[in-house]
């Protein structure tokens, strides 16, 4: 059975990301799973739990010190050598960037933002802010597909992966974009926005930055991530990296809680594929209620503290 390469997404803080486990799960239906790990951390145990038969590891300053170009070069060399049935990457900024470079290097098609990949490589994509579904196929070369986080349920399948260290040979042209500084920002223990099963977001109705503590409190009680609408971000209530919507992150959690968010199309673009949506807004005409499975028309400063108290009681 031909190999399927899965480019692992992991971080020092939280280990192997959920989207990686989703990719491993999808990859098992496409062939024999080989994980490609960039960086020096050892993730083999976790990758084995989800069915990686083989691990290709590439590390060193040439990988860590630059933006994605060296990774794309290493990956292209590996693809030429092992002739995989498919390459899966996360539909994250880095995953898409590596995929783009790989596609040009190999003169090969690519499909981004897949939510499903069939055994024959056909990818299902949700486009136009969740309003249309397309099925697409790579018609030149092998399927290079990026998978959107929270698309499939990861299921374990134990394997004992063999690890092969790749020699990293990159040229000067791969080392043009040098990372001179990495600054970690405090983010606490909340799950990552695009991977979280529950997302609690605040909008303009939250009123100010200080009031976002209420949104954070609900998120923490539910074990979710915090998001914000563009209106809230533009007003300076919450940092941009938490923005959900057309010009921010796309999320697809099990539960999306919209607090003081009107539901402009810009926001809906980033969240309307969520499984269950609940909303609190004082305007009964707010478009968010057209999407909400359960909506409360009311003052969020009364409804949300009461809800938080009720969750505490039930714990």
Partner 1 sequence: MNIVVLVKQVPDSGAERTLSPADNTVERGSASNVINEMDEYAIEEALKIKEAHGGEVTVLTMGPERAAESIRKALSMGPDKAVHISDEALHGSCAVATSKVLAAALGTLNADLILCGAESTDGRVQVMPHMLAERLGVAALTGARKLTVDGGTLTVERQTEEGYEVVTASTPAVVSVWDTINEPRYPSFKGIMAAKKKPVQALTLADLGVPADEVGFAGATSAVLESSKRPPRSAGTKITDEGDGGVRLVEFLASEKFV
What number of CA atoms fall less than 13 Å from residue 29's CA on the CB side?
14
Closest distance between partner 1 and the C-beta of residue 4, in Å?
18
Contact indicator for 274, 257 with CB cutoff of 8 Å: no
Closest distance between partner 1 and the C-beta of residue 142, in Å?
11
- 40/276 with CB nearer partner 1: 276
Closest distance between partner 1 and the C-beta of residue 21, in Å?
17
Closest distance between partner 1 and the C-beta of residue 20, in Å?
14
Sequential DSSP letters for 68-99: SHHHHHHHHHHHHHH--SEEEEESSHHHHHHH
Using the CB atoms, write b or e for 43-68: b if 16+ within 10 Å: bbebbbbbbbbbbbbbeeebbeebbb
What's the CA dihedral at 168, 174, 175, 177 to 10 degrees?
-130
Closest distance between partner 1 and the C-beta of residue 45, in Å?
23
Q: What DSSP character marks residue 67? A: S
- 37/72 with CB nearer partner 1: 72
- 160/186 with CB nearer partner 1: 186
Dist CA 286 CA 173 (whole Å): 51
Closest distance between partner 1 and the C-beta of residue 54, in Å?
27
- 7/33 with CB nearer partner 1: 7
Q: Whats the size of the chain, residue-wise?
A: 315
- 90/161 with CB nearer partner 1: 90
Closest distance between partner 1 and the C-beta of residue 111, in Å?
6
What number of CA atoms fall less than 13 Å from residue 44's CA on the CB side?
13
Closest distance between partner 1 and the C-beta of residue 314, in Å?
6
- 165/247 with CB nearer partner 1: 247
Classified as helix, coil or strand, 264 is coil
- 158/173 with CB nearer partner 1: 173
- 163/255 with CB nearer partner 1: 255
C-alpha triplet 11, 13, 18: angle, nearest 5°: 55
Spatial neighbors of 227 by CB under 8 A, at least 6 apart, are 193, 199, 200, 201, 202, 242, 243, 244, 249, 251, 271
């Amino acid at each position: 059975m031909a190999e399927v390469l899965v480019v692992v997404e992991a971080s020092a803080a939280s280990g192997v990301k959920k989207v990686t486990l989703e990719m491993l799960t999808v990859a098992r239906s496409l062939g024999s799973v080989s994980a490609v790990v960039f960086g020096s951390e050892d993730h083999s145990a976790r990758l084995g739990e989800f069915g990686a038969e083989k691990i290709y590891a590439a590390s060193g300053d040439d990988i860590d010190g630059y933006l994605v170009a060296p990774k794309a070069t290493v990956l292209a060399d590996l693809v030429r050598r092992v002739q995989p049935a498919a390459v899966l990457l996360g539909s994250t900024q880095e995953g898409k960037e590596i995929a783009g470079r790989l596609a040009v290097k190999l003169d090969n098609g690519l499909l981004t933002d897949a939510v499903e990949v069939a055994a024959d490589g056909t990818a299902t994509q949700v486009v136009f802010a969740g309003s249309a579904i397309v099925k697409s196929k790579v018609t030149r070369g092998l399927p290079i597909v990026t998978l959107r986080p929270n698309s499939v349920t990861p299921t374990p399948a134990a394997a004992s992966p063999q690890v092969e260290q790749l020699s990293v040979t990159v040229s000067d042209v791969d080392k043009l974009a040098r990372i001179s500084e990495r600054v970690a920002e405090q983010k606490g223990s909340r799950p990552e926005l695009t991977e979280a099963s529950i997302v609690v977001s605040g909008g303009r109705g939250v009123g100010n930055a200080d009031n976002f503590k209420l949104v954070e409190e609900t998120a923490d009680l539910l074990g979710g991530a915090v998001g914000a609408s563009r209106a809230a971000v533009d007003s300076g209530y919450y940092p941009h990296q938490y923005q959900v919507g057309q010009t921010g992150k796309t999320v697809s959690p099990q539960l999306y809680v919209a607090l003081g968010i009107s539901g402009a199309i810009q926001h809906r673009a980033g969240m309307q594929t969520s499984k269950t949506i609940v909303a609190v807004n004082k305007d009964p005409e707010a478009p968010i209620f057209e999407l909400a499975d359960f909506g409360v028309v009311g003052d969020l400063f009364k409804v949300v503290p009461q809800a938080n108290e009720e969750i505490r009681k039930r714990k």
